[in-house]
Amino acid sequence: MSIKGKAYIMGAYEHPTRKAPDKSIPQIHAEAAKGALADAGLTKDDIDGYFCAGDAPGLGPLSMADYMGLTKLKHLDSTDVGGSSYILHVAHAAEAIAAGKCSIALVTLAGKPLTSPTPRAAIPTAPDASFESTAGIVVANSYGMCAMRHMHEYGTTSEQLAWIKVAASHHAQYNEHAFLRDVVTVEQVVNSPMISDPLHRLDCCVITDGGGALIVTSPDVAKSLKRPLVKVIGAGEAPKGQAGGETDLTYSGARWSGPIAFAEAGVKPSDIKYASIYDSFTITVLMQIEDLGFCEKGKGGKFVSDGNLISGVGKLPFNTDGGGLCNNHPANRGGITKVIEAVRQLRGEAHPKVQVKNCDVALAHGTGGSLGVRHGSATLIMERA
C-alpha cells in the first residue's frame, strides 16, 4: 500500500510569535491548532487524529488532547524523532487516514527556548549515556564534527557554507515575522564569532519561542473544503546512528529516507520546484542536499554557492520563509515550519518576492536529534492538485 494521494494538507499555521514570555507552552500549541483549523475551515470537534512529539508538555497527546478539548479522537501518535518529527507525522497521518483510522488529523508543535530555556539534560538511561555523557556533546559540536569531516573529505569551505545563510537571509528580509531580517554577506558569516569549529555564530539557527500546526485530511474531506489542495505523494523516514563504531559523519539518513520518498512519489530531485531543507546549521543543509540527490556527493559546497538557493536566482529555491537560520526554530525543532512553507509555496501563498513560479511539486526534509551522533531523517513530497 502506498500513501500517494491518500491524504491532503489542508491547514497550515505558523504562530507569529518569536518571543512569548507571556504565554504557556500548551497555550501556544492550542493557538497554533486554532490557526490551522481556521486556515482549513474546520473546527476542533472535526479532529479525530492527533499527532505531537517531545515538545508536547505533560503526557504528550493525553495532556494536550485534554487541554485542547479534543473529544472525538480515534487515533494518536507521539513518535519523537526530534525536530524532524512533524514531517514524519504528516506521513504517519496519511498512513492512518489511508487505513481508515481517522480522517482529519491535527499536528502541533510549540516551545519557548528563548524566554524559558531548559538545558538539554542528558538522559541517564539512554544506552549511550554510560560511555558518552562525560564528553560534553552539545548540538553545535556534534554538527561541527560533521562539518570538519566534510571539509576534510571534500574540500568544502566555510565560505561555501556561508552561502546557505546568505540565501536564507535574502528570503527572510521579506518575512515580517522573521526573527532576523537583515541580509548578510559571506564575509559577515565567516567573520562572525566561532561557536564550535568550524561553525560560526551565523552558521547556527536562531533560538525562538513559537509554534505551528498542520491539518491533514482524507481526500473526501479535502475536496469539501475551500482551500487549495496540497496532496501528499511520497514519504520516507530513517534513523542513523554510530553503526556500532563504524561511524561515518559524511552523510545523513536522507540517503535512505530520500529515495523511499522519491520512489513513492514517482518523481526525481530535478522535478522538485521548491525544497524546505532543515537548517539547524548550514552544514545540515549542505549534507541533506547531497544525500537527497540534488547534487553529487561532495559537490554540495559548489552547489549552494553563488546564490543557487535563492528564489528567483538559483536552481533550488530553499527555505523561502528564511528558515531556521533566520526566521524561526520554535522549540528548537524546525520540522513543522518546513512543511508550512512548502504548503505556502504549493498554494501560491508565499511572499510574492520569493514565490516560486509554477510551484507544483515541493519537498520538505528534516533531520532531528543530533547529526553527528544519532538522528532521524524524514522526507515528505507534496504536489499541488
Residues that bind another protein (CB under 8 A): 122, 124-125, 127-138, 140-142, 144-149, 152, 193-199, 242-247, 249, 372-373
User: In whole angstroms, what is the distance from residue 366 CA to residue 82 CA?
Assistant: 9
Q: How far is the CB of 331 from another protein (least distance, A)?
A: 21
Of 131 and 358, CB closest to another protein = 131
- Report CA dihedral (174, 178, 180, 184) to the nearest 10 degrees: -30
Q: How far is the CB of 64 from another protein (least distance, A)?
A: 31
Of 92 and 374, CB closest to another protein = 374
The half-sphere exposure of 324 on its side-chain side, counting CA atoms within 13 A, is 31
**Cβ atoms of 311 and 354 closer than 8 Å:** yes
**Cβ atoms of 40 and 7 closer than 8 Å:** no
Report CA-CA distances (Å) from 75 to 63, 154, 303: 15, 46, 42
Q: How far is the CB of 123 from another protein (least distance, A)?
A: 10
> Reduced to 3 states, what is the DSSP secondary structure of residue 152?
helix
Of 74 and 152, CB closest to another protein = 152
Of 1 and 135, CB closest to another protein = 135
Of 140 and 225, CB closest to another protein = 140
Q: How far is the CB of 369 from another protein (least distance, A)?
A: 14
**Cβ atoms of 351 and 203 closer than 8 Å:** no
User: In whole angstroms, what is the distance from residue 101 CA to residue 47 CA?
Assistant: 12
**Cβ atoms of 271 and 291 closer than 8 Å:** no
Q: Position of cell 517531545?
A: 54
Report CA-CA distances (Å) from 381 to 51, 254, 308: 19, 13, 21
Q: How far is the CB of 209 from another protein (least distance, A)?
A: 21
Of 1 and 121, CB closest to another protein = 121
Of 103 and 332, CB closest to another protein = 332
User: In whole angstroms, what is the distance from residue 157 CA to residue 163 CA?
Assistant: 10
User: In whole angstroms, what is the distance from residue 32 CA to residue 126 CA?
Assistant: 32
Q: How far is the CB of 282 from another protein (least distance, A)?
A: 14
Of 149 and 181, CB closest to another protein = 149
The half-sphere exposure of 2 on its side-chain side, counting CA atoms within 13 A, is 14
Q: How far is the CB of 143 from another protein (least distance, A)?
A: 8
Indicate the residue type of 83.
Answer: G
Q: Position of cell 528564511?
A: 322
Q: How far is the CB of 312 from another protein (least distance, A)?
A: 35
**Residue 116 DSSP code:** S
Of 141 and 173, CB closest to another protein = 141
Q: How far is the CB of 89 from another protein (least distance, A)?
A: 28
State whether the Cα torsion 177-182-186-189 is positive or negative: negative
Cell of 43: 473546527
